[in-house]
Structure 1
Amino acid sequence: MNEYLLMFADAVFGFVALFVLVKVLGKTQISSLTPFDFISAVIIGELVGNALFEKESGIPEIAFLITLWGTMLYITELITQKYKGSRHILEGRPSMVIHKGHIVYDELKQNRLDIDELQHMLRSKDVFSVEEVEYAILEADGTVSVLRKPEYQTPTNADLNVSPKPVKIGRVVISDGEIVWDNLKEANLSQTWLEEELHRQNIQSVRDVFYAEWQENQQKLFIALYHYKPEQKD
């Protein structure tokens, strides 16, 4: 029993320590995961995992490993922020794989990227033909940024000389059969209005609604009811 209690204490401490480490290092460690960041995350997981299952290791050893590795990561972040020249070494640098409509073979080769992988990355950006691309940049985190040729770009309000309208976000007012009171209040809507709107759309109860969103730009309520996969007959 004592052994399980020690494992429980180690696991809880490791969880809390990793949570604090992520908070200290910031969201960029997750949102912009470079190859170096990925390797760091794997190593942290290995260090904590090994410490948890080693009988000789305990909370002090886990704390030491996480603190040491977290400190090195933090110092690395400080170096990249203070010395710009170190960024391409520690974080990598973007590579222009398509320049003025031409695929730069040398950049593909240097980044070990073949044409099939490039096409897959372009399709993830809703580009289904290389011909549409004027510039494509392979970012340090492995994603690709695309600028289409003028004839393939979606026109903006400025291009069409159309007066822009204020942009307002949609607010979730019902989630999984429950009213989201904060959003309903922020949208200056009442429960009475919501119930009347549901009845107008032939919905008897809030509990029947899986998801409802107030679209302020269009002044309408989008509603999605519970929908289950139909049973397959043998």
Structure 2
Amino acid sequence: MKIINLTVELIVGFFYLFLIVKFVGKKLINQISPFTFIASIVFGELLGNALYDHKAGVFYIFYSMTIWGALLLAVEFLSQKFLKFRGVVEGNPSALIKNGVVDREALRKNRMNINQLQSLLRQSETFSIREVAFCYLEANGSISILKKSKYQKTTQEDFNMQSQAVAVPVTIIRDGEVLWDELHELGFKDTWLKSELSTHHITDYKDVFIAEWLEGDGLFVQPY
């Protein structure tokens, strides 16, 4: 008897879940905001817990999923009608890099550090901050990047250019601290670094927010 009841509940829950997701929309599946991410988890938990709770029958599955689905539809409706409500529920993008300069205050507000920003950039096939004109942290935690014009993608075949060796940028100063291992691995010394920083009118390492070295392009420095 229990197997028959469970089978009926699974079939009902499966098709009802399919219908609700169809009505709620693709946003629930794509999880394009923190709210939809949590909503999708709770939605699945409601069905799963109801199926394996012996005291909960088909009616309770219908009831719980209907209420939750109705709330999701209400939120979607209000988000479409009211801009302020949409901002509260879905959040707004934050500009982490503006005109090639990292916005430290925006990093702080989003509880991020420069290491995490560099990691997100690398995941987006951007290995140096110097390449970025604008970078936005989207509501779902992903980043959108607009590169500087000279770093935007072109093919070498467009200009009949010969292939060149590819170099990886190396961070040698981060948050005012020199990464000595990286510096020495590049074959540079303290005197060289001081000389390079002096060309940027910087005398103290602690005044540097981030400094990157790229072979063929030199040292990129952003002070505090």
In percent, how many aligned pairs have the same letter?
Answer: 38
Counterpart for residue 79 of structure 2: 80
Moved over 3 A (4+): none
The whole-number CA distance in structure 2 between the counterparts of 1:134 and 1:3 is: 62
Deviation at 1:32, TM superposition (A): 4.5
Deviates more, 1:29-38 or 1:10-19: 29-38
Counterpart for residue 124 of structure 2: 125
Counterpart for residue 23 of structure 1: 22
Q: Say if 2:91 is the partner of 1:95.
A: no
The whole-number CA distance in structure 2 between the counterparts of 1:8 and 1:112 is: 46
Name the SS for the 2:153 alignment partner: coil
Deviation at 1:27, TM superposition (A): 1.4
TM-score with structure 1 setting the length: 0.64
Counterpart for residue 111 of structure 1: 110
The whole-number CA distance in structure 2 between the counterparts of 1:73 and 1:110 is: 28
Q: Say if 2:36 is the partner of 1:34.
A: no
Asked if the contact 2:94/2:106 (under 8 Å) is kept, the reply is: yes
CA offsets 1:138-160 (integer angstroms, 9 cap, x no match)? 1111110000111211249xx98
Amino acid of the residue matched to residue 133 of structure 2?
A: E
Asked if the contact 2:137/2:143 (under 8 Å) is kept, the reply is: yes
Counterpart for residue 150 of structure 1: 149
Deviation at 1:45, TM superposition (A): 1.6
CA offsets 1:97-137 (integer angstroms, 9 cap, x no match)? 11111111111121122222211211122100011101000
Name the SS for the 1:141 alignment partner: coil
- Alignment CA distance shift 1:99-1:28 (3 Å): same
Where do residues 1-234 of structure 1 align in structure 2 (5 Å cutoff)? 2-155=1-154
Asked if the contact 2:29/2:40 (under 8 Å) is kept, the reply is: no
Deviates more, 1:145-154 or 1:60-69: 145-154
Where structure 1 has 5 or more consecutive residues not aligned to the other structure, the ranges are 161-234
Amino acid of the residue matched to residue 151 of structure 2?
A: Y
Amino acid of the residue matched to residue 22 of structure 2?
A: K
The whole-number CA distance in structure 2 between the counterparts of 1:17 and 1:142 is: 30
Amino acid of the residue matched to residue 11 of structure 2?
A: V
Deviates more, 1:31-40 or 1:71-80: 31-40
Name the SS for the 1:98 alignment partner: strand
Q: CA RMSD in A?
A: 1.7
TM-score with structure 2 setting the length: 0.66
Asked if the contact 2:90/2:139 (under 8 Å) is kept, the reply is: yes
Deviation at 1:33, TM superposition (A): 2.5
The whole-number CA distance in structure 2 between the counterparts of 1:68 and 1:56 is: 19
